[in-house]
Amino acid sequence: MEFQAKDIAALLGGTVEGDPEATVSNVSKIEEGKPGTLAFLANPKYEHYIYTTGATIVLVNEDFKPLRPCPCTLVRVKSAYDAIATLLQMYESMKPKPVGIEQPSYVSESATLGENPYVGAFAYVGRDARIGNNVKIYPQAYVGDGVTVGDGTVIYAGVKVYAGCVIGKNCILHSGAVIGADGFGFVPEGDYYKKIPQIGNVVLEDNVEIGANTCVDRATMGATRICEGVKLDNLIQIAHNVVIGRNTVIAAQSGVAGTAKVGENCVFGGQVGIIGHLEIGDGTQIAAQSGITNNVAKGSVLRGSPAFDLPYYQKCYVVFRKLPELYSQLRDLQKEVKDLKAK
């Protein structure tokens, strides 16, 4: 499908600078731009590419001031990054979606499927499962007994949703995700460990996205809850009875231990670790590879392991990097003091 610059500008509420009838049918990165494609410039570090890009149309911010003529047509918008996200969402929504029940697959007679379902080959839908409208269950996915899946949710190939779990509307579960595996509950019994049955479930509220190979464990009792709008990256571990507040974003390889409560609108970098039974306040930001060992107040910005306030961490890190030099100076001073005492 082709789009002209003037149509893109009208859609995004932007203005055209150049040929309003310039036409594109695909997208590209600005550094790899080709004729007939749309690119965008949001990061100033990439500005030099706009003077040599082969892209036909480039989205730029309203306040962008080129240093020399650009070979492409510009569409000025309030935020180029937001604009390209809007266009890509539209492009994705226009792609054809699979419908129907492929064979071989298994759908229990007691399961209910809404309108326009897709169940891919070798998928399994268990007893009393309730599947909403326009749900897509891709091949080799497992939806256990009594699972509820809300309208518009996409469950990609190889996802496993254990019995009794609840998936909200418009969620996306990427390949290899496991929802509802047993929480890590054991009690010492002599030289062995006795398993504590995990009889709760997992609840994913609406508009949650779960990355590939991420695991969300079922609660010992009650529910492990991932609240509305949460986005979890790949390779994340969420333990039993954890609550992740609305619109929180967690990057890859992070782990949240049992019964921790994470607030709303938090942002965690990759490889963040949070020990169990803690409370993380709303709006907290935690830098990558940080370890959280105490409760965190609302709006905190933390780094380090164990983590502490970012400004103080940065001051400490300056000293840490100088430790070998400072240690050498200290040894010299000790030697001087020893020589002075000897005299």
Q: Are 37 and 4 in contact (CB under 8 A)?
A: no
Residue 277 annotated to the active site: no
- Give the C-alpha separation, 140 to 151, whole Å: 20
Closest by CA to 38, choosing from 47, 26, 51, 22, is: 26
Cα torsion at 243, 248, 251, 257 (round to 10°)? -20
Q: Are 52 and 70 in contact (CB under 8 A)?
A: no
Side chain identity, residue 95: K
What secondary structure letter does DSSP report for 219?
A: P
Strands 26-27 and 172-173: unpaired
Indicate which residue of 48, 174, 240, 277 is catalytic.
Answer: 240
State which H helix or E strand residue 93 sits in.
helix 80-94
Strands 301-304 and 307-309: antiparallel
- Give the C-alpha separation, 315 to 206, whole Å: 41
Determine phi and psi for 76, rounding to 5 degrees: -90, 130
The set of catalytic residues is: 240
